[in-house]
C-alpha cells in the first residue's frame, strides 16, 4: 500500500483548482472517496448537559479526515473509560467535503516513457479533508460540571492528533 503524501501540500485554505473543459465529463471529479470518520455523534444523545467544552480553531486550514478520526477515537476512548457512555455527548462538527487529488508521478528507470508529467495533471481522488475557518468549532463535548476537567483533557488529546493551533472553550448551556 502506498504511503500518504505529506499534508503540507494540501494544508492551505486557498480555493481548490477547478478544471473547466470544453468536454463536460472532464470538468468533474468522477468519484468521491469514502469518509473515514465513523461517527459524528457519540455518547448519550438524548440528555441535555449543562456545560459544553469546544475545540475552536485559531487559524484557517484543511485537516485530513483520517487525522480527525484518530483524534475522535482517542478523545472518545478517554471519555468512555473515565465517565462511561451515559455521562457525555461528543459531536464532531465539520464534515469532510473537500476532495484531495493526487497526480501520480512515475519515478525510476524508464519512467519517462509512461509518465504524463504535468500534461493531464488534474489528479485522481485519494482522500477527503475538512475545511476549517478561524474561530470555527471543531468538536464539542457536553458534560456535567464535575466532569469538565476530563472533557478538557480529552480535547487536549484530540488537539495533539491534528495540525494547527486550537483553543479549548467552556460554555454554559441554557
User: Could you tell me if residue 94 is inside a domain?
Assistant: yes
Identify the band that residue 110 occupies on the pLDDT scale cut at 50, 70 and 90: low
CB–CB of 137/31 below 8 Å? no
Residue-wise pLDDT for 91-100, tens only, equals 999 999 999 8
Domain count, the chain: 1
Element spanning 29, H or E = none
d(CA 151, CA 157): 10
- Asked whether residue 106 carries a pLDDT value surpassing 90, the answer given is no
User: Could you tell me if residue 60 is inside a domain?
Assistant: yes
User: Could you tell me if residue 159 is inside a domain?
Assistant: yes
User: Could you tell me if residue 10 is inside a domain?
Assistant: no
Domain that holds residue 85: 29-100+122-172
For position 14, what pLDDT does the model report? 80
- The pTM assigned to this predicted structure is 0.86
Residue-wise pLDDT for 21-55, tens only, equals 888 887 888 888 999 999 999 999 999 999 999 99
User: Domain with 88 in it: what CATH number?
Assistant: 3.90.1170.10
d(CA 26, CA 47): 48
User: Could you tell me if residue 68 is inside a domain?
Assistant: yes
Amino acid at each position: 500500500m502506498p504511503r500518504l503524501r505529506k499534508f503540507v501540500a494540501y494544508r492551505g485554505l486557498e480555493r481548490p483548482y477547478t478544471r473547466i473543459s470544453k468536454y463536460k465529463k472532464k470538468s468533474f471529479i468522477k468519484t468521491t472517496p469514502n469518509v473515514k470518520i465513523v461517527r459524528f455523534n457519540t455518547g448519550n444523545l438524548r440528555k441535555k448537559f449543562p456545560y459544553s467544552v469546544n475545540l475552536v480553531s485559531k487559524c484557517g486550514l484543511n485537516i485530513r479526515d483520517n487525522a480527525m478520526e484518530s483524534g475522535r477515537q482517542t478523545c472518545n476512548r478517554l471519555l468512555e473509560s473515565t465517565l462511561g457512555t451515559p455521562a457525555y455527548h461528543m459531536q464532531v462538527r465539520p464534515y469532510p467535503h473537500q476532495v484531495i487529488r493526487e497526480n501520480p508521478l512515475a519515478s525510476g528507470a524508464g519512467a519517462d516513457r509512461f509518465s504524463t508529467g504535468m500534461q493531464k495533471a488534474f489528479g485522481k481522488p485519494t482522500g477527503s479533508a475538512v475545511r476549517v475557518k478561524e474561530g470555527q468549532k471543531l468538536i464539542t463535548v457536553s458534560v456535567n460540571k464535575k466532569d469538565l476537567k476530563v472533557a478538557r483533557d480529552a480535547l487536549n488529546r484530540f488537539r495533539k492528533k491534528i495540525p494547527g493551533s486550537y483553543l479549548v472553550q467552556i460554555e454554559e448551556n441554557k
